[in-house]
Chains A and B, each alone.
Chain A
Amino acid sequence: MVLEATMICIDNSEWMRNGDYSPSRFQAQADAVNLICGAKTQSNPENTVGVLTMAGKGVRVLVTPTSDLGKILACMHGLEIGGDMNLAAGIQVAQLALKHRQNKKQQQRIIVFAGSPVKHEKKVLEMIGRKLKKNSVALDIVNFGEEDEGKTEKLEALLAAVNNNDTSHIVHVPAGPNALSDVLISTPIFTGDGEGGSGFAAAAAAAAAGGVSGFEFGVDPNLDPELALALRVSMEEERARQEAAAKKAAEEASKQEKGGEQQASSQDATMTERASASASEAETKTSDMMDDENALLQQALAMSMDDPAINQEAKDTDMSEAASDDPELALALQMSVSDSSKDSSSQSDMSKLLADQSFVSSILASLPGVDTNDPSVKDLMASMQNQSEQKDDDKKPPSEEEKK
């Protein structure tokens, strides 16, 4: 995420007609340039990139440093091959272009594609390198195309003169089956200094490695970044949900061992588990269950609000059931997690709910914001009362049965 202004120096000399890099040296170079521009602009939106050609009639700046990727790609069209590369002039013009960048806070970097032989003397190159270092400009050299002894040596000398704390790099790309851009992706030119690569580079690397199938989700992040992002996000959400469910199951298993002594805490646990269970139920779409439980919940709340006596009974009932709590608890939880239909366990579950609700209401009463004299709360309770009468009848027989 370094804020950087980059000038890319393209070699469009006659030497670039050669086909030892597929499809041609020049085309391979153009692809690499496109990739670099994309990587730079993605890693930091304020980065700017400019392009100039070193051969042809003379050094020509095609586009001054800009963050507009479209402009950069457009200027790569219609480039003509010809002439001879002038490395020294190219680098100096690049340095000048960087000097006049708009945002002075950007670090300066020059990327040179050296495909043709270097006709300058080593001393000249070293002097240029030192001047770059003095003005804190970093230099990346891509040595490809023509290979001769002198060239490598000169370029290495240039790098040594410029290099300040490893900010400058040189990459030698021999001709071969791998495309120029693929080789560059894994180099520090792409990955920046010690950043470990941006997402762009990583995705591109995946592409290079396995072709289309190498892409995550089978979608090219370059072609359709939004779709790739959406797929990635939904995958992570699903993974998170599964982890949460697994954690819940583990919690439930540990809760079963606690027993009746920790009724309150297990009730708490049940409460939270109910909450999360209801959540998972919503996901598994047991709408019937939810409606019933909601209604029962409301009844229980109303009951606990205006009839503490009954509530006590229910609670006592619950307490007596404490010994046999565990299997019921397990059953209740199982029911909440799986899709099983209502059975007697639902009743016991409801009694648990009641107890829970009394717990909840006692908490609510103690909350500073809740005022039982509030008209809206009163209305709610009134509507619940009608339901609660029906609920009373339901509750009493089963609790009496269980007492027996």
Chain B
Amino acid sequence: MSGESASAIPKGQVDLLDFIDWSGVECLNQSSTHSLPNALKQGYREDDGLHLESDADEQLLLYIPFTQVIKLHSIIVKGTEEQGPKTVKLFSNKEHMGFSNVSDYPPSDTAVLSPDNLKGKPVLVKYVKFQNVRSLTIFIEDNQSGSEITKVQKIMLYGSTVETTDMKGLKKIEDH
């Protein structure tokens, strides 16, 4: 768990990029020039020059639906030391959330990102809460330095699909 290097994909998990339903992806309060695909899409996210930026204030609300049901294992959020995200709340299977109702439901998980995380160390989520995920809402509440703008360079999601879960793989996960 803690010994995983930043670049290795956790055992038995896949990069969930292929299962994202791009037609439904939404991001509230993003700047028009620096938008969500910069942080999510293959190729764009590797380029540190391209990042997702917040607009009116430092909060961001991302909505990512998936093409099939997945289990979410861990996420990587990369950002700059100053303006990278700090508190990240994850909501599973809540559609069309707005900034006004983020506090209405308890999040499925909350993560406070450390500078290590911002460099690429994965954050393991409460796996039991993300067993049956159709859509993921990521609420970035504030950033490291409290500045007006939050910048996210890369977001990666790791997990597995429900239908095609390999029994052997399942066993390995249960090892930790």
Contacts and interface: CB of A to CB of B under 8 A. Distances in A.
Interface in A65-106: 99, 104
6 contacts: A130-B57, A134-B28, A135-B28, A135-B29, A135-B99, A136-B28
A104 B96 CA distance: 7
A133 B55 contact: yes
Contact of A165 (B32, B57, B59, B95): B32
B14 to A, nearest CB: 30
A99 B57 contact: no
A85 to B, nearest CB: 25
A161 B57 CA distance: 12
Interface in B82-101: 95-96, 98-100
Contact of A164 (B32, B59, B98): B32
The binding surface of chain B is classed by DSSP as: loop
A99 B98 contact: yes
The binding surface of chain A is classed by DSSP as: helix
A164 B55 contact: yes
B8 interface: no
A93 to B, nearest CB: 14
Contacts of A134: 28-29, 55-57, 59, 99
Contacts of A104: 95-96
Q: Kindly list the 8 A-B residue pairs having the minimum CB-CB distance in the complex, ordered from nearest.
A: A130-B56, A134-B56, A134-B29, A104-B96, A133-B56, A165-B32, A135-B98, A136-B28
A396 B159 CA distance: 91
Given A135-B98, A136-B28, 18 more contacts: A99-B98, A104-B95, A130-B56, A130-B57, A133-B29, A133-B55, A133-B56, A134-B29, A134-B56, A134-B57, A134-B59, A135-B28, A135-B29, A135-B99, A161-B56, A164-B32, A164-B55, A165-B32
B25 to A, nearest CB: 13
Interface in A376-399: none
Contacts, number: 28
Nearest to B95: A104
Interface in B113-147: none
Nearest to B33: A165
Interface residues of B, number: 12
A135 B101 CA distance: 12
Nearest to A161: B56
A165 B96 CA distance: 22
Interface string B45-78: 0000000000111010000000000000000000
Interface string A122-164: 0000000011011110000000000000000000000001001
A132 B95 CA distance: 20
Interface string A302-321: 00000000000000000000
Contacts of A136: 28-29
Interface string B23-39: 00000110010000000
A99, A104, A134, A136 pick with most chain B CB within 10 angstroms: A134
A99 B98 CA distance: 8
Interface in A338-393: none
A131 B56 CA distance: 8
A130 B99 CA distance: 13
Contacts of A164: 32, 55
B28, B56, B57 pick with most chain A CB within 10 angstroms: B56
Interface string B1-39: 000000000000000000000000000110010000000
Contacts of A165: 32
Contacts of B28: 134-136
Interface string A35-76: 000000000000000000000000000000000000000000
A165 B34 CA distance: 13
A135 B96 CA distance: 11
A130, A136, A165 pick with most chain B CB within 10 angstroms: A136
B76 to A, nearest CB: 26
Contacts of B56: 130-131, 133-134, 161
A317 B56 CA distance: 88
A94 to B, nearest CB: 14
B154 to A, nearest CB: 23
